[in-house]
Chain A
Amino acid sequence: MTKLRRGITGFILRRVVLGLLTLFFVSLIVFAATQALPSDPARAILGRTATPDSLKALREQLDLNHSVVYQYTHWLGSFVTGDLGHSLAARGEPVTAVLGSRFKNSAFLVLIAAVISVPLSIFLGVIAARRRDGPLDHALSLSLLGLAALPEFVVGISLVLLFATRVFHWLPAVSLIPPGDAPWQHLKEIVLPTVTLVLAVSPYIARIMRASMVEVLESDYVEMARLKGLPEREVLWRHAVPNAVAPAIQVIALNLAYLAGGIIVVEFVFAYPGIGSALVDAVNNRDLPIVQALAVLIAGVYVFFNVLADIATILVSPRLRTSLR
């Protein structure tokens, strides 16, 4: 668009600005859906049995007596400064206090799932490409296709059936982590939610990794490395894999972003005390400040990983990098 800013910094800057712009629209949509569109949000939240006093108090808390523009700017302003408002259900506690420990729990769950699923799926993609069209490749490709199709809660409940209730009794079916405890003190409790998330994102990464690897293995420089007499193991992991990962980085980041949404159902399945189950509770209680905060937060994580994906792709692929100059 602009010819003034060129090169990598210009690209990164543009991408970040676009990300912030997206977030702005996201906040607008969340606000419009929860507060601006309903004719009387206070009554919608409190229901028909609400007393005039409680309705008045809630209208004041949500700034409903002011214009929509004032409501939005005020909400966004306090949001940006870290004041997420007060929960309607949890006795008026600040949203930040309600969600703080839950955010930590979710972040830990997502981190563990990412740390396991990324190397695992890269490995699966590489060995599938290595044995291309062999029985192992076909078996892997079909099972990954099937796994990718399954909704997370179906995977989660099947794992509970298999490892917690009917067949084996190895692991707890619910992840009860007492408030105040850190999730890493309860490793046994987080095995099943982690495995569910890993099974949800790995198929996509493994499939793109296989496709990328197949292409790299047919390239001239891999041929060259083989002709030089390098051992196959070295050709594969030192020469081919680093080049095959570059095109896959975007898909990897997109799937990590996907985890931000995936935890909602998975946390609910295992009653894991994170932001996902908090969002489900808030929807049930019509606790709008919490719904607003979590929707924007989860979308924020999502946008962040998307921007990261674009930047990382540019940085690791020399061809794209030079074309920007």
Chain B
Amino acid sequence: MTAVAPTAPVTAPTVGRPLTILARRAWRQMRTKIGVSLVALLVGVALIGPFFAPYSPSEFVAAPYAHASSALPLGADNLGRDVLSRFLWGGRSLLGLSILATLLGLVLGVSVGLVAAYTRSVLDDVLMRAMDVILAFPSIVLALVAVATVGPKLWLIVIVVGLTTMPRVARVTRGAALEIVERDFVQAAEVLGESQPKILFGEILPNVTSPLMVEASLRLTYSIGLIAGLSFLGFGLQPPAADWGLMINENRQALTVQPWGATMPVIAIALLTIGTSLIGDGLSRAAIGIDRGGGEG
């Protein structure tokens, strides 16, 4: 970013890699800044929070649903564990699983989309129809079917959420790549005898990164909601783990007596998803060219 010459602010954004330009344009908007701050705050809580936790997340320190006091600033949960400590510990699993699932969905979706756009054969139709079939399920139903058969396993949730993330990523990738595969440099690479994976990921992929970034942030928001929801239903992390979704499940019966056990994770998940979606909106506005801070529309 230091490369931008102060004397030529209008032409400067055209130099640099597409992602840098996109990020710079997105950052000019207030909503992106708010989104990044929210996400940074929550990621901070999840990563650094545990070092400040006064107790261990599984330690019984008071009576169940004990009220807030100087020793327990947010009171105790349904089994008498410290709500603050469990809250500080409980963000890592949600963040880790959502990021893994989104990455998996991106890798699968990008591969399917690139192959479909490049193949120029019936494989294109077959792949995209297969994506439609996955989209015919609400994702949560697919996840529940898997959990009913295999049981509540974390790897299973990452795989299922990754699989349900794949079709939309594949559509976006294919849509953007269709026009790129016709370009001269792709044909040049073919003539030079470059291998197919190298053409797909080395030549075509770098040209579709902008729409992919927008889609990735949308998919991340969605994965966070889905995984937190599965945890909330009791199909994610299993007790006695400290996890935001699970905490809401465990403490929601006692909202009248001791609201913090459910309220803190609800607030955290709300701010996190709002943050990622603000970033996504900033990126998508930047990608379609609405990036003049004031005059949005």
Contact = CB atoms under 8 A, between A and B. Distances in A.
A149 interface: yes
Nearest to B228: A151
A26 B136 contact: yes
Interface string B252-279: 1001100100110010011001101110
Contacts, number: 139
Contacts of A26: 133, 136-137
Interface stretch (B15-23, B71-79, B140-148): B140-148
B297 A283 contact: no
9 contacts: A22-B136, A33-B149, A146-B274, A149-B274, A151-B226, A161-B262, A283-B147, A283-B148, A302-B137
A148 B297 CA distance: 19
A164 B259 CA distance: 12
**DSSP class of B's interface residues: helix, strand, loop or mixed?**
helix
B63 interface: no
Interface in A163-204: 164-166, 173
A139 to B, nearest CB: 13
A37 B156 CA distance: 14
A291 B148 contact: yes
Given A26-B133, A261-B138, A268-B233, A295 B145 contact: yes
B132 interface: yes
A55 to B, nearest CB: 17
A138 B31 CA distance: 11
A132 B233 contact: no
**DSSP class of A's interface residues: helix, strand, loop or mixed?**
helix
A149 B276 contact: yes
Contacts of B147: 283
Interface of A: 22-23, 25-26, 29-30, 33-34, 37-38, 41, 44, 132-133, 138, 142, 145-146, 148-154, 157-158, 160-161, 164-166, 173, 258, 260-262, 264-265, 268-269, 279-280, 282-284, 286, 288, 291, 294-295, 298-299, 302-303, 306
Contact of A299 (B136, B229, B232): B136
B118 interface: no
A165 B31 contact: no
Given A145-B277, A298-B141, A302-B138, A165 B148 contact: no
A25 B7 CA distance: 60
B144 A149 contact: no
Contacts of A133: 295-297
B64 interface: no
Contact of B148 (A34, A153, A302): A34
